[in-house]
Amino acid sequence: MVLSDDDADLLVPIDDDSPAPKAQPLAQFSPVSLSPLEVSGEFRVAVHTRGGRTVRGSVKDIDLAKSSFLLSPQGGGDYETVYHSDVKAIFFMLAPNEKAQQGDGKKVRVTFADGRTVDGQRDGGEAKHGFFIVPLDAQRTNTRKIYIAREATSDVKEI
């Protein structure tokens, strides 16, 4: 095989004095949540238990897919461990002057095993242990969203 400089398929060096493009910095990404039940940030909450207790306080960066989470009691004191098996619902309260947002899913009526009901709009993903809704009266009740423990419900239906 004979090569010649006239071969059109050969690469030809380019005499280009223009500077190489400047490398752009990579965008910063926050870690992707692995669980639809992870809640980032600090929130005032009211935890309603299956035993009928209501415990108020605040939580920070919790994953409700885990078996427990820490609650900082209202008024101070030592953190309290709250076990998922005791949870009926967790009401996440709006911050001062915060406006309520709508959920991103269908409107549902949740009936708990004790007969109480709450109406809201589904918000976020599904998980084995529970899901979130935004109550239909969120602004009036000062509630950002409600975590519903699936084991504490007797019925969930679209309305």
Encode pLDDT of 15-69 as tens digits: 666 666 666 565 555 555 567 899 999 999 999 999 999 999 999 999 999 999 9
User: Residue 89 falls within a domain, yes or no?
Assistant: yes
* pTM to 2 decimal places: 0.78
54-75 core/surface letters (b: 16 or more CB in 10 A; e: else)? ebebebeebebeeeebebbeee
How many domains would you assign to the chain? Answer: 1
User: Residue 73 falls within a domain, yes or no?
Assistant: yes
Q: Transcribe 63-126 into DSSP letters.
A: ETTSSEEEEEETT--S-EEEEGGGEEEEEEEPPTTPPP---SS-EEEEEETTS-EEEEEEES--
User: Residue 1 falls within a domain, yes or no?
Assistant: no
CA 63 to each of CA 5, 59, 153: distance values in angstroms, whole numbers, following the listed order: 67, 10, 20
Please give the residue range of the domain that contains residue 138: 38-158
